[in-house]
Amino acid sequence: MANKSDFNPIEYLVSRKYHMIPGALVESDFKIRYPSAATNAWYKDKEFVDAFRKELSLKAPGEIDELVNAEQEKENTETAARLAREEEERFFNQSSAAVDLDYYCNLPCWRLDECVGLSFGKDPEQVNWDTVRPHKQNSTFARKYERLRDRTRRAE
């Protein structure tokens, strides 16, 4: 992540508008992509990008700040939506991971990981610490599972 002092609000707005990734070739249906010596990025259409950059450079600093704030809010919303979509698509949030309560209710006892999985309404054969652990860095469910598992282990 760049230092705040390295942040260039105009380049940020340009990169957001044209979906540019600095230092990477962005595949798209746009026209030929041109390299920019200033940012070492590949632009989709140099004329549009340069015109937008010039338009921004003519704005007052307060206007640029407002545009950046609005774009950052939009980016945060997009990121939150993407993360929520990724979370919903994980195996433990699929209907196939739902528990068969009839089976587990008729068992004489449950193991620790079974208790944790069952408390979330998940099938412990599919959703257990071995399968959930790889997701703990990027999944809210996995972090909740880990915390409950830890509390349960401590209570033994």
Taking the C-alpha atoms of residue 109 and residue 104, their distance in angstroms, rounded to an integer, is 9
Taking the C-alpha atoms of residue 106 and residue 89, their distance in angstroms, rounded to an integer, is 31
Q: What is the pLDDT of residue 23?
A: 44
Q: What is the pLDDT of residue 7?
A: 87
Taking the C-alpha atoms of residue 68 and residue 74, their distance in angstroms, rounded to an integer, is 10
Instruction: Specify the DSSP class assigned to residue 156.
Output: -
Q: Are 98 and 118 in contact (CB under 8 A)?
A: no
Q: What is the pLDDT of residue 36?
A: 53
Q: What is the pLDDT of residue 32?
A: 40
Taking the C-alpha atoms of residue 155 and residue 144, their distance in angstroms, rounded to an integer, is 17
**At 118, which helix (H) or strand (E)?**
helix 112-119
Q: From first to last of its 156 residues, what are the pLDDT tens digits of the chain?
A: 555 668 889 888 988 887 765 544 444 444 444 455 555 445 456 777 788 889 999 999 999 999 999 999 999 999 999 999 999 999 999 999 999 999 999 999 999 989 999 999 999 999 999 999 999 999 999 999 999 999 999 986
Q: What is the pLDDT of residue 16?
A: 86
Taking the C-alpha atoms of residue 15 and residue 11, their distance in angstroms, rounded to an integer, is 6
